[in-house]
Structure 1
Amino acid sequence: MSGNQEQRHIYYDRDLGIEAYQLSGIVQKFPNHFHEYYVIGFIEGGKRHLWCKGQEYDLKAGDLILFNPRDNHYCAPIGRELLDYRAVNIHTDVMLSIAREITGKDYIPHFTQNVVYQSEIALSVAEVYEAMLLDMPKLKKEESLFCLIDQILQEYAAPFETAGDDGPGEKTKMLCSYMEQHLAENIALDDLASMIGAGKSYLLRSFTKEVGVSPYRYLQTIRIERAKKLLEQGIGPIDVAGMTGFSDQSHFTNYFKEFIGLTPKQYQRIFSDTLPAREIIIENEVN
């Protein structure tokens, strides 16, 4: 039986300190989750149904996607159309540095829209991606990235302080902090409920409403985010699995691939040499 060629191109650029993804021929669904970094991406081909922070979007080629850190989201194919997608992942410290250079102010940028249909900014994302792919001179890469961020800050971002305080309440923040500090432990719902003096049903409803994901999904997401940092440091996947609370390496690998689209070993390889930009290509046959 003939299959479609699925490719996942992943780059890490040490000059810029950012990751870039190109997913081609993808049919995988991605579960409800969030990232600790900014994501700026666009659809190159295919169609996707996206859920983000309680809103739903039908995406097609040319649509821009903007995720703030911890914007919960998940997506699925429409009509089994194959997804072609490019994105750059920008950690908060890098974004803060660029925003400070552009505006002369110290603030945390906040994207005011998660989806911009048929945006010309998609071309700027592609330019950053190509600069990394071809390992162009550092000046060219920095110029492309600064131009991209400048466009978004002007059109689709506001200082975090003026965006409105619609985040989780203090009790929910306390639960999040507890899970972050004890992520390797076997946390039970009873433990969380007792911390805020509430019933388990109320906790589940209120936490999911305020955070956008359930407590269990939150725990799994922060475990994956912590695992990524440990893998980047060169720690082996077996050790990382134990350090982040997964029962075994198989369990860890399955969750990691579900969230990230790669196995832990594949992800770790992009940080395994000293070149300015490191590319990993993963190809699979999908029916």
Structure 2
Amino acid sequence: MSKSEHIVHNIKFSKPNLNKDIVLYEGHFNHFNYDKHVHEEYTISLIEKGHMNAFLKGFNHKFDKSSIITINPDEVHACKIADNEEYKHHSLYLKPNIVKEILKLNFNKKQLSFSDIHFSNSFIYNKLSFLVKQENISYFNTFSWECELIEVVNSILQINSKATEPIELPSNHLLIKRVKEYLHDNFYIQISLDDIAKEFSISKYHFLRLFKKHTFVSPHAYLMLVRVEKAKQFLQKGLSIIDTAYMCGFNDQSHLNKRFKAITGLTPGEYKNFFN
């Protein structure tokens, strides 16, 4: 079999502690590219092998083992293979409430975000790399693994984050924020551009341009991303695929399958099996 015929497509998810909102991911590819998507979690990623091209904050980047990649919740991003070679990477997904616990900050008054999309630190990279590899978790009990994880995440946040007082957003940013909240609150119903225009008293043509400028995707595409994130949560809790599709506003199970695989690299059934 030639190199071009050998397709690598391996994905693993796990929750080391089922009672904590912490998910580990491992992906190894040579033909798959992730569509633009968002996460509700803070994401910390490492490249173990090869190079990865990524779309972040409206620009294209290339990452290798020298980078610790940090992505804030709700930041649209995408990634794909670079130089037609395979790559392998690991990600740690932390729900905002976990970050709140780690930092012991009052988030009613403070707002946390990663300062840069990536930074380099060989000590942190090596320590985090060991912790996120699923085959290494057996070396720890749950308590010791979580203690080690909190320590390294604390180091990352000290180096590459800032807690600032909420800033006064310009009107356009405030509008986009309100629309995003509207889509998150109504992800399970069918929403049209006219519905949004009416809800926020704005020209749908003007709004469409503003939304894409600020988020890099259309409102409809963003709604699909929100629905996939909600579907992941339902599947982790053990809901059936057909019920998940219905509850997330997808037309049918086939529609869910298509969007879900483009974003996660797995079918909903394959993803569900990691958590049940």
For residue 213 of structure 2, what is the amino acid of its counterpart?
A: K
Give secondary structure in 2 for the equivalent of 1:245.
coil
1:164–1:260 CA distance, 2 compared to 1 (3 A): farther
1:127 matched to 2:127? The reply is: no
Aligned to 2:185: 181
1:110 matched to 2:100? The reply is: no
Conservation of the 8 A alpha-carbon contact between 2:8 and 2:86: no
1:95 matched to 2:99? The reply is: yes
Superposition map of 1:185-196 within 5 A: 185-196=189-200
Out of 45, 50, 56, the position equivalent to 1:46 is: 50
Superposition map of 1:244-263 within 5 A: 244-263=248-267
1:25–1:203 CA distance, 2 compared to 1 (3 A): same
1:224–1:58 CA distance, 2 compared to 1 (3 A): same
Conservation of the 8 A alpha-carbon contact between 1:40 and 1:125: no
Which range moves more in the overlay, 232-241 or 211-220? 211-220
* RMSD of equivalent CA atoms: 2.4
Measured in 1, the distance between the counterparts of 2:171 and 2:126 equals 32
Which range moves more in the overlay, 118-127 or 205-214? 118-127
Between the two proteins, the alignment pairs up a number of residues equal to 269
Measured in 1, the distance between the counterparts of 2:129 and 2:40 equals 22
Deviations 1:179-207 (A, max 9, x none): 22222222111221222333322111111
Measured in 1, the distance between the counterparts of 2:195 and 2:143 equals 51
For residue 124 of structure 1, what is the amino acid of its counterpart?
A: K
1:148 matched to 2:148? The reply is: no
Give secondary structure in 2 for the equivalent of 1:94.
helix
Deviations 1:194-252 (A, max 9, x none): 22333322111111223343201210111011111111221100111011111111110
Out of 261, 265, 270, the position equivalent to 2:269 is: 265
Give secondary structure in 2 for the equivalent of 1:246.
coil
Superposition map of 1:16-95 within 5 A: 16-95=20-99
1:231–1:111 CA distance, 2 compared to 1 (3 A): same
| Identity score, percent | 26
1:168–1:126 CA distance, 2 compared to 1 (3 A): farther
1:8 matched to 2:11? The reply is: yes
1:163–1:134 CA distance, 2 compared to 1 (3 A): farther
Unaligned runs of 5+ in 1: 273-287
Deviations 1:16-61 (A, max 9, x none): 5411111123431112221100111111112222111123211122
Unaligned runs of 5+ in 2: none
Aligned to 1:279: none
Conservation of the 8 A alpha-carbon contact between 1:96 and 1:108: no
The two structures have a TM-score, normalised by structure 1, of: 0.85
1:71–1:231 CA distance, 2 compared to 1 (3 A): same
Shift of the alpha carbon at 1:85? 0.2
Measured in 1, the distance between the counterparts of 2:62 and 2:133 equals 26
1:269–1:198 CA distance, 2 compared to 1 (3 A): same
Conservation of the 8 A alpha-carbon contact between 1:31 and 1:258: yes
